[in-house]
Amino acid sequence: MLIKKVAIDLGTTNVLVHLPKRGIVVNEPSVVAVSKDDYKVLAVGIEAKEMIGRTPDNIVAERPLKDGVIANYHTTESMLRYFINKALGGVRLFRPEVMVAVPAGITSTERRAVIDASMAAGARAAYIIKEPIVAAIGADIPIGSPSGHMIIDIGGGTSEIAVISLGGIVSCGSVRIGGTRFDASIAEHIRRKYGLAIGDRSSEEVKITVGSAMFMDKPITMEVKGRDMISGLPRTIPVTSDDTTEALQHDLEGLVDAVKQVLHKTPPELSADVMNKGIIMSGGSSQLRNLTELIAQTTGVACYLADEPLLCVAKGTGIALENLENYKRSVMATR
C-alpha cells in the first residue's frame, strides 16, 4: 500500500493525526507562531503554545481555527503541512489521502476552505466528514444500526450534538460553546470577583484542576497567580470549584438548551432508543467534572463519558478513512 492515508481531527485547541495500523501519531495544540516582519512560520504545535502570552511585538502566537472553522487560511495550511509531514516522515513517493473531521454546522464556503487547505498542504485527495459521525464511530457506537444513538462532542470551539441512525444524522445542533469559551468565562469571573487578571493558560489550568459543572459538597481549591487590576502588581489568590461553577453557568445553560432542542427535533421512535441507551459524550471538554451528571439531571436521560473522549474524533476519522466504502454516505465533500 504505497498511498498513505491520513485522518485529521482539526480542532480549535488540538490537532490529532491518526494513521492506519499505527493509531494516533500526533496530538499537539493547534497553535502557530508567526513573525510579523515577513509572515514566516516560526513554530507549530507544542513549541508555539509555549509562546502564547510571552512573545515580543514582532511575533504573534495564534490559533488559526476559531469555533472549529478556519479563521486564517495561510496559517492553517502551514499547520496542516507541518502535521502531515510530522506524521508521515520525510521522503514520500506519493501524496497522501487525507480525511478531515469538521463541525456539522459548517457552511459550504468553510468546507471548501478546509479542502483547499488540505490540498495545498500536500494531499492527493481530501475528504470531509462530520464530527458527530466520527465521534460516534470512535466511541464504538454501531452507527449503521436502525436504532437511535445520541452523541455530544464538546471540543475547544464548538459543541456538536446529534442523533444518529442508519449511518446518518437524523437531528443535530451545533453551538459555539466549548473549552476556549469555558476558559474565557473563568478568566472573566476571576477578574470581576477578585480583581485579578489571569492569562489563557492559567484559566485553562483552573478549569482542568478545579473546574466543575455543578456545585460540589466539598469544594476543591487551588492557588492562582495573576496581576492585580488596581495595583498592577503580581498577586496569588485561592480559587475554588464553586467559582468555576458560577463562571460557567451561562455557557452550560446554552449547552443544555442545545441538547434539549436536538431531543425535541428527534422522531419519537428514536427518542425511545436514546432513553434506553443514554447519551454518550466525547471531546476534550466533556471531561469537565460533573458535566455528565448535569446533562442527565436536566434532560432526564442517562449520560455517559466515552472511553478516551479526547481521541474519539481522531480514531473515528481513521476508521472511516480505512473503510471508505462503508462510510461513503457520511462523507460530505471530496476532491
- Same domain, residue pair 156 and 301: yes
The C-alpha cell 473549552 sits at 179
- Same domain, residue pair 148 and 285: yes
- Same domain, residue pair 86 and 69: yes
- Same domain, residue pair 326 and 264: no
- Same domain, residue pair 129 and 146: no
Predicted confidence at residue 328, as pLDDT, reads 76
pTM given for the model: 0.89
Q: Let me know the angle formed at the C-alpha of 213 by 212 and 214, rounded to the nearest 5 degrees.
A: 90
Q: Which domain holds residue 99?
A: 5-133+313-334
Predicted confidence at residue 144, as pLDDT, reads 86
Which CB contacts under 8 angstroms, 24+ apart, belong to 79-82?
79/15, 79/30, 79/32, 79/44, 80/8, 80/10, 80/117, 80/118, 80/121, 81/120, 81/121, 81/122, 82/41, 82/44, 82/45
244-299 pLDDT, tens digit per residue, is 999 999 999 999 999 999 999 999 999 999 999 999 999 999 999 999 999 999 99
88-98 pLDDT, tens digit per residue, is 876 667 888 89
- Same domain, residue pair 187 and 272: yes
**Chain-centroid distance, C-alpha 137:** 16
218-246 pLDDT, tens digit per residue, is 999 999 999 999 999 999 999 999 999 99
- Same domain, residue pair 162 and 261: yes
- Same domain, residue pair 151 and 105: no
Comparing C-alpha atoms, which of 333, 276, 279 is closest to residue 304? 279
- Same domain, residue pair 106 and 236: no
- Same domain, residue pair 175 and 249: yes
- Same domain, residue pair 85 and 177: no
- Same domain, residue pair 79 and 201: no
Residue 67 has pLDDT above 80, yes or no: no
Residue 185 has pLDDT above 90, yes or no: yes
Question: What domain count does the chain have?
Answer: 2
Q: What CATH number is attached to the domain comprising 68? A: 3.30.420.40
Residue 215 has pLDDT above 60, yes or no: yes
Q: Where are the beta strands (DSSP E) in the chain?
A: 5-10, 14-19, 23-29, 32-35, 41-44, 59-62, 65-66, 69-70, 97-102, 125-130, 149-154, 159-165, 168-175, 196-197, 221-228, 234-240, 279-282, 303-305, 331-334
Predicted confidence at residue 179, as pLDDT, reads 93
102 vs 330, which has greater pLDDT? Answer: 102
Mean pLDDT of 308-314: 93
Helices marked H in 89-125:
108-120
